[in-house]
Structure 1
Amino acid sequence: MWKHFVAIGDSFTEGIGDEVEETPLKSWVHHFAELHEPTLKYTNLAKRGLITKEIRLKQLEEALALEPDLVSLIAGANDILKGRWNFNEYKSEMELMIDALSKSGAAVIIGNLPDFTARLPLPDEKKRVIKEQLLQANEVVRSLSSEYKLMPIDFWNHPIAEDDTFWSKDLIHPNSIGYRKIGEIIFNRCSI
């Protein structure tokens, strides 16, 4: 169905985390591509540590130049977890990327953010602030998904978000089994 899949984003899409149960550490992008028959050609441009604006500045133009027919965008965790949250900037950056990707003719997978506060050992007030910001980011994702008719992945409400067996010791990144599971979740969502 698709010929070339391009993934943009941060460490969640790059695929950093712990290797567990002798399962090689590979990004969810790799697992997602392997589930296709034949294996889907892909380019993973995601890099750890980037906030949403940096993803746009460093990855969007390159992604568009590759002329993909399928693109994924999952962003915003670093904006929040690094204490650099700015709702208006996040909304603007996401809109700019989604608009450009949609106008290119590519189908777009977009993911919301899981509830990191369910796992992170933080003071209650800090958890409350982070949760509020995550909900704001996820509302932007929901709104854009509806407006642009994207393929949304709901990590907030998926059971994987609260199952510690899928997460690395840092409690932020999936582990090798988690990335495999996420690849399956996204594949199943895109096969609907």
Structure 2
Amino acid sequence: MQKHLVAMGDSLTEGIGDEVKDVQLKSWVAHFAEFHQPALKVTNLAKRGLLSHQIRSTQLEETLSHNPDIVSLIAGGNDVLKDGWNPEQYQVDMEFMVQQLTQQRPDVAIMTSTLPDFTLRLPLPSEKKKIMKEQLLEANEIIRSIGERHDLLLIDFWNHPLSQEPTVWSQDLVHPNSVGYQEIGKIVYKEYAQWQEKK
């Protein structure tokens, strides 16, 4: 029976960015699906600009309705980049979504990731950059903690060399470009395949 991947999240998962080097702009989810054999059914619910509580309120119910085999849940970039970072609310939202997914289907494979370091690229005043970095570290600590408690596949983009590679980012310096999404798809698939072998 064909496995079903449902992707939840914001613009990073939707696939917003620049098309470069004759590489078609597609989400990393689409690239992941191309690498996966046998073929996957894919539903990408991610939408740009959403905070974690908005992802929870607009995507969780539909995700559950699909009873997916694999779920990608990457969120938090907008929570940190927009004013009003609330780590307690972020943790509640992420924890709730993971709990609902695993309660419905204990064998569901949930993929998530730490957030990349946007401060490496964004031209921000030093004090603003310091605050953002602290918030990103706080968000990533929450993600790591949830990942460990629920045995999620956690891709560590904070420490990955790709986050420091200037050629894979769009002109806005926040979103990957088409090459970046292709590389992310490769990375996630490789780690997913290794993770599945250990189960």
TM-score range, shorter chain: over 0.9
- What residue number does 1:25 align with? 25
- What residue number does 2:62 align with? 62
Deviation, structure 1 residue 83 = 1.3
Deviation, structure 1 residue 28 = 0.2
Residue aligned with 2:7, SS: strand
Maintained 8 Å contact 1:29/1:44: yes
- What residue number does 1:81 align with? 81
Deviation, structure 1 residue 59 = 0.3
Higher alpha-carbon deviation: 34-43 or 74-83: 34-43
Residue aligned with 1:182, SS: helix
Residue aligned with 1:191, SS: helix
Count how many residue pairs are aligned between Structure 1 and Structure 2. Answer: 192
- Select 1:170's aligned residue among 169, 172, 175: 172
Percentage identity across aligned positions?
Answer: 57
TM-score normalised by structure 2 residue count: 0.94
Aligned equivalents of 1:22, 1:16: Cα separation in 2: 16
Q: Which amino acid aligns with 1:99?
A: Q
Q: Which runs of 5+ in 1 are unaligned?
A: none
- What residue number does 2:145 align with? 143
- Superposed CA deviations along residues 33-72 of structure 1, whole A, max 9, x for unmatched, are 0101232111000000000000000000000101101001
Q: Please give the residue correspondences for 1:50-129 in structure 2 after superposition, counting only pairs within 5 Å.
A: 50-105=50-105, 106-129=108-131
Give the RMSD, CA atoms, in angstroms.
Answer: 1.0
1:90–1:45: structure 2 CA closer, same or farther, 3 Å change rule? same
TM-score normalised by structure 1 residue count: 0.98
Aligned equivalents of 2:62, 2:6: Cα separation in 1: 10
Deviation, structure 1 residue 104 = 2.3
- Superposed CA deviations along residues 137-184 of structure 1, whole A, max 9, x for unmatched, are 000110001000000010000001010111000000000000000000
- What residue number does 1:40 align with? 40
Deviation, structure 1 residue 2 = 6.6
Residue aligned with 2:60, SS: helix
